[in-house]
Amino acid sequence: MASPLRGAGGQDSRSDSGSTTSPARSETDPDVAGIPLSYKGMSRTHLLSMWEAARTCSNGITPQDKEKMLNDVLDGLTHLQGATNEETTKVAYTLAGFYVDTSQSYKADKVLERQTQAYIERLGHDHRKTLQHVLHVAELLNAWNRSEDALGMLSKVREMRASRSRNASRIGKGHQKASG
């Protein structure tokens, strides 16, 4: 039996936009509401198995394959669980460590910066999980012989928190004057 989407020549009769009468949207579409169960056909369980394989297999896997696996797992878990999920964050740390081990520190920095930004945007500067993440990043930087970078990052976080605190107290005082 022919598919209702197939035309006379076996061609898909959907418009160029790819729309059908089905309400389903791309599983990688960030605007899809709800709780996704898969990412590019991979379940959470499959993604975690890929992560384990990438972490434990040193023989028979090229650095390029390992990088692709870790990036796929990070993208998938970010989609399924969110960027600030504990497992997602651990994968980000694993990927950053891989980049340091393969002399690509600039890529490690990008992974950690993106993860830190997600924590700040989702939870705020002062949230316990954000602060734990920042401290863990500082520990990683220290372990990678980048203690100056770790101190600089912690100093910047402290300054950002102090600035937000000063701004909040100014706003509070202005509100008190206006209502008093």
CATH code of domain 39-166: 1.25.40.10
Q: What is the pLDDT of residues 44-73, one digit of tens each?
A: 999 999 999 999 876 788 999 999 999 999
Instruction: State mean pLDDT over 126-141.
Output: 95
Q: What is the pLDDT of residues 115-128, one digit of tens each?
A: 999 999 999 988 99
Q: Give the span between the Cα atoms of 106 and 66, in whole angstroms.
A: 18
